[in-house]
Chain A
Amino acid sequence: MKRFSRVLSVLFWLIIPWGAKAAEGKILATPGVSQIEGSAGGGIVPWAQLAGYASEDEWSLSGFCSRANLTDFRLDVCGVQANLFDHVEFSIARQQFDVPALNTQIEQQIIGAKWRVYGDIVYSTWPQVSVGWQHKSLKDGSVARLVGAETTSGNDFYVSASQLHLGAVAGLNWFWGVTARHTSANQLGLLGHGGEKSNTKWMVEASSAVFLSPYWAVGAEYRQKPDNLGLGETHWRDWFVAWFPNKSLSVTAAYLDLGSIAGAPNQTGWYLSFMGYY
């Protein structure tokens, strides 16, 4: 909690000097926000866009902190991204997963990279396409081993396609994104990778949103997940509202339905995320 608020205040007062910015080359809101593993995306799904407002000859930095409060758990994440010329995105995120019932915390670090392969979500005929990688490692793998995970670190690879259609839904802008992810992670990797029923698989993830105005978007997300541990791990869903008051800040709130986590069913709750762009 302390670290969460500390990083948040650093974000607000140092990384976002109001006005001065490294990059403003994209249209408001088009880079999206940060997903909980640190890549540019929605809340739970990475999108094809790269983080921040950098266009072809600019670089940008961005940072975020997010909190998910669930029935039996809490997840805090903070992370930063660098966007180089809207071709490559590098990210680092740190997750802290609180399990009050066991009076324990699981910490995970995720480093990521994403390459834009084709297109622009607004202008190209076909959707923007990116490929990405996320390397996840647990600080202390004891819980993961306890529940039967094979390893305490692992790699996800994904391909994402996204597009924004101007005026497509009753004159409102409509966004969609689809991601295919090759993964062996149990609950993002917080419970390690692989397990008794282990097999690395391709999972499907999807997001859709409508912009009610240039500043407000509402949408939903879906993320398919493997059940390597045989603990009944289920798909995740969320419904979100995102606010983009300017090119320095975004705020996202969501209702989460994360199904069963580590054998505890019906994990629903609230999500709040702040992101600063420089």
Chain B
Amino acid sequence: MAMVRNWFCRALIIGCVLLSGCSQLPRASLYQQIGGEQGSEQLVDAFIQQIGNDPQILPYFEKASVAHFRAGFLAHLCAVLDGPCAYRGDSMEQIHRGMNINERDFNRVVELLIAAMNETQMPVTLQNRVLARLAPMRGEIIHL
């Protein structure tokens, strides 16, 4: 019993040391992890390519300016992924109002973004973390 307690205490101490060690390391922001300005430009360009080749999603962009979308998405991505930017563009709700986007088309866009992340060789674990930041915005995008 004493030995078990001994082991337990030791494990606890090691655990605490490890945890405090980790929390002291400055962790790179998701924006830095996806390659900062250069990385996000590559990603957004690949994403625009994907949209351009997708007959299901392209019609939504019929009247959109690619340059405007590119600049807006880059700024938004940078802000959402804790990069050194503040997004000052229109809100997600303002942008998507009147488009009446359904669940299926929303998920299709998610798939195109995943395809773009694959194209830029982003590891799956990083992809998931990026998607986790974007997913909560669905309510401000669909059914408007």
Which residues of A pack against B, CB within 8 Å? 24-28, 55-58, 86, 120, 122-123, 125, 165-168, 170-173, 213-214
- Contacts A27-B110, A123-B135, A166-B131: A57 and B124 contacting too (C-beta < 8 A)? no
A-B residue pairs in contact (CB < 8 Å), sample of 27 = A25-B103, A25-B104, A27-B107, A27-B111, A55-B102, A55-B104, A55-B107, A58-B104, A86-B103, A122-B135, A123-B135, A123-B136, A123-B138, A166-B128, A166-B129, A166-B135, A167-B125, A167-B128, A167-B132, A170-B125, A171-B123, A171-B124, A171-B126, A171-B128, A172-B124, A172-B128, A214-B114
Give the dominant DSSP class at A's interface.
Answer: loop
Which residues from A are CB-within-8-Å of B138? 123
Type the 1/0 row for B114-144, where 1 means its CB is closer than 8 Å to any CB of A: 1000000001111011011001101100000
Q: How far is the CA of A120 from the CA of B132 in the complex (A)?
A: 14
Interface centre among B124, B125, B128, B131 (most CB of A within 10 A): B128
Which residues from B are CB-within-8-Å of A125? 136
User: Nearest B residue to A164 by beta-carbon distance?
Assistant: B135
Q: Smallest Cβ distance from A29 to chain B, in angstroms? A: 12
B132 touches A214 (CB 8 A): no
Q: Nearest 9 pairs between A and B by C-beta?
A: A171-B125, A25-B104, A167-B128, A166-B132, A55-B103, A167-B129, A55-B104, A167-B132, A123-B138
A24 touches B125 (CB 8 A): no
Which residues from B are CB-within-8-Å of A123? 135-136, 138-139
Q: Smallest Cβ distance from A128 to chain B, in angstroms? A: 13
- Contacts A171-B125, A171-B126: A24 and B104 contacting too (C-beta < 8 A)? yes
Q: How far is the CA of A24 from the CA of B103 in the complex (A)?
A: 11
Q: Smallest Cβ distance from B6 to chain A, in angstroms? A: 30
B124 touches A214 (CB 8 A): yes
Partner of A173, one of B102, B103, B104, B128: B128
B124 touches A213 (CB 8 A): yes
A57 touches B132 (CB 8 A): no
Q: Smallest Cβ distance from A121 to chain B, in angstroms? A: 11
Q: Smallest Cβ distance from B101 to chain A, in angstroms? A: 11
Which residues from A are CB-within-8-Å of B103? 25, 55-57, 86, 120
- Given A171-B123, A171-B125; 9 other pairs, CB 8 A cutoff: A55-B103, A56-B103, A57-B104, A86-B103, A123-B136, A166-B132, A168-B132, A171-B126, A172-B128
Which residues from A are CB-within-8-Å of B123? 171
Which residues from A are CB-within-8-Å of B132? 165-168
User: Nearest A residue to B124 by beta-carbon distance?
Assistant: A213
B135 touches A57 (CB 8 A): no
Q: Smallest Cβ distance from A256 to chain B, in angstroms? A: 29
Which residues from A are CB-within-8-Å of B110? 27
Q: Which residues from 91 to 107 on chain B have a C-beta closer than 8 Å to any C-beta of chain A?
A: 102-104, 107
Q: How far is the CA of A165 from the CA of B129 in the complex (A)?
A: 10
A26 touches B126 (CB 8 A): no
Q: Smallest Cβ distance from A84 to chain B, in angstroms? A: 14
B102 touches A56 (CB 8 A): yes
Q: Smallest Cβ distance from B113 to chain A, in angstroms? A: 11
Q: Which residues from 14 to 67 on chain B have a C-beta closer than 8 Å to any C-beta of chain A?
A: none
Q: How far is the CA of A57 from the CA of B101 in the complex (A)?
A: 12
Q: How far is the CA of A57 from the CA of B114 in the complex (A)?
A: 23
Which residues from B are CB-within-8-Å of A172? 124-125, 128
Interface centre among B102, B104, B123 (most CB of A within 10 A): B104
User: Nearest A residue to B132 by beta-carbon distance?
Assistant: A166
Q: How far is the CA of A86 from the CA of B104 in the complex (A)?
A: 11
Interface centre among A122, A167, A168 (most CB of B within 10 A): A167
User: Nearest B residue to A171 by beta-carbon distance?
Assistant: B125
- Contacts A122-B135, A166-B131, A167-B132: A57 and B125 contacting too (C-beta < 8 A)? no
